Structure 1
């Protein structure tokens, strides 16, 4: 008399158990995916940055070849970033003033370094192909950022990361030697082609450390930091454009497209760099950013029909090898740390 009811209850219980198991499996899969994404967030932001800057470099070179002065292009970049920030401010409503003298000092320093690095970096593409320019500035930046990060923030890098940085630095030296040995332009042009990328690394490297401290450690707003940097940059560059150059505001349609692409790519690159520095050390971020080099070399070949010589290509290969080593190891290390914290939490060791 009661057997059918018992069978029904058992069936319902079995279905409920299977449903719970499926939900648990789905939750575990979602959690695992979250661990993978979160552990690689800094790497992913940095890799996105490399794509943005590689295309920005090509747009800068094409715009310059179309007759638009370099400082005018940098002014337009800063103006675009300022407009984007002003649009975003009402939605995110960040605090617009620094707290204390330390944040104020860091904000002033990063404003100066940010603008100087942008000027040096963009002007370097006028004197050298983007792939070679990136080979020098992106290859030397990890060493600069790691040293300053250690001195100022006590951020250390492990043996694997040190090996990657050394490989990248050796690659830079090989590329520079190749430029000197194969030089067919004037000495002045060659000097600018080497010194401007180096000046970029010695301004952007310290800037990475300052931004890492300000945004990643002190919790300062990315939007506020970018706002101050671009207000000052836009004003100063507008003045320099009229004092040093003769700006060309009337442009053909194709050149307008180059300029728009340049401004949008640099704006995206600026935000992705700061998002990466919010979660990752300055030296590691600078090392992974050298992935812009092989992409720039490829674009040089596609757009300008230029390919590096065997010596330069060897230097680029060393840089890419060092970069890849640091990127993979960084992601793996973060993933292991997150899985360890998750395991400790599941075992309730803190109770």
Structure 2
């Protein structure tokens, strides 16, 4: 019995070590990539809830206000458990936190309002496809974060894809010039709101180690207050909703909150440009959901753009995971040889 017990204990310990080794060398290096990919799923789903809510007559700013309220509530629920530091350490952090709040909310409003003028798949094609290049440039200027040759190749493919999507939108659109202009300019404006937001959040969360909850708490609370005022100023809110509409709003809040948390968790370990590039996988998911939920079938031109974006995103995601795994294996080797002492 003693021998069997010892053997069982040895097998269990070996299995645990193997499992820990697998997690450390394969899963941990890809944590930032996985969080960014999780964002894509949640963001694509949130866009559909936004479009469905808009279709039944709920004003766009009101929907974004409700989403910000849900995100604020989620942050409040997590605060007692994680107890993050809610004050900044110096004036620079305070300034960055203020800028993060402004850019995050401006980007959110412009992004979700674009879903009112154009189907989510195409809006994401413009936003997510142009975001990596803008983020990489801003990240290099302010954080000195560089991207490698392989990452640049993926970003170029993304840009080519978004050009195809935007061109397809222009030549196939039969609506008014004003609506067409809005459907292109709103997503592009959202890009230039989202890109600085990612870089600033990367600086706060990834470099200065400010809590994710702290950044999101201030951004969402401020956004909810401002959007409530904008809703009554520019729109006529509709508070009486059907059960189906309430379900869409709840889905929007949950998915929007999850996508926001996933992005900021990714920024803890990944450069802003890399996170932005991986997030472009939102586009094919949104296009697929456009077809399933909104019966919007993309044209061959738009489909070609989506394929380029998917390929570019795949290149960056796989290369990033491989690079981190290589660094982890090298670190483990140095530790096993006691070279780290």
With normalisation by structure 1, the TM-score equals 0.94
Give the 3-state SS of the residue equivalent to 1:116 in structure 2. helix
Deviation of 1:222 after TM superposition, in Å, equals 1.0
Write the deviation string for residues 199-236 of structure 1: whole angstroms up to 9, x where unpaired: 11111111101000001110101111111111211111
Give the 3-state SS of the residue equivalent to 2:276 in structure 1. helix
Residue 111 (structure 1) aligns with:
101
Q: Does 1:178 align with 2:171?
A: no
Q: Distance in 1 between matches of 2:304 and 2:166?
A: 11
Q: Distance in 1 between matches of 2:12 and 2:127?
A: 51
Deviation of 1:83 after TM superposition, in Å, equals 1.2
Write the deviation string for residues 15-58 of structure 1: whole angstroms up to 9, x where unpaired: 96896476345413421233211011001111111010001000
Residue 4 (structure 1) aligns with:
none
**Larger displacement relative to structure 2 (50-59 or 224-233):** 224-233
Q: Distance in 1 between matches of 2:170 and 2:329?
A: 49
Q: Distance in 2 between matches of 1:243 and 1:324?
A: 43
Residues 75-224 of structure 1 correspond to what in structure 2 (within 5 A)?
A: 75-224=65-214
Give the 3-state SS of the residue equivalent to 2:267 in structure 1. helix
Q: Which runs of 5+ in 1 are unaligned?
A: 1-10
Residue 229 (structure 1) aligns with:
219
Residues 1-351 of structure 1 correspond to what in structure 2 (within 5 A)?
A: 20=10, 23-24=13-14, 26-351=16-341
**Larger displacement relative to structure 2 (280-289 or 29-38):** 29-38
Q: Which runs of 5+ in 2 are unaligned?
A: none
Write the deviation string for residues 100-138 of structure 1: whole angstroms up to 9, x where unpaired: 011001001000000001100110000111110110000
Distance 1:18-1:68 versus aligned 2 partners, 3 A rule: closer
Q: Distance in 2 between matches of 1:43 and 1:315?
A: 22
**Larger displacement relative to structure 2 (77-86 or 240-249):** 77-86
Deviation of 1:159 after TM superposition, in Å, equals 0.3
Count of residues in Structure 1 that have an aligned counterpart in Structure 2:
341
Alpha carbon RMSD of aligned pairs, Å? 1.7
Q: Which has the larger radius of gyration?
A: 1
Q: Which runs of 4+ in 1 moved over 4 A?
A: 11-22
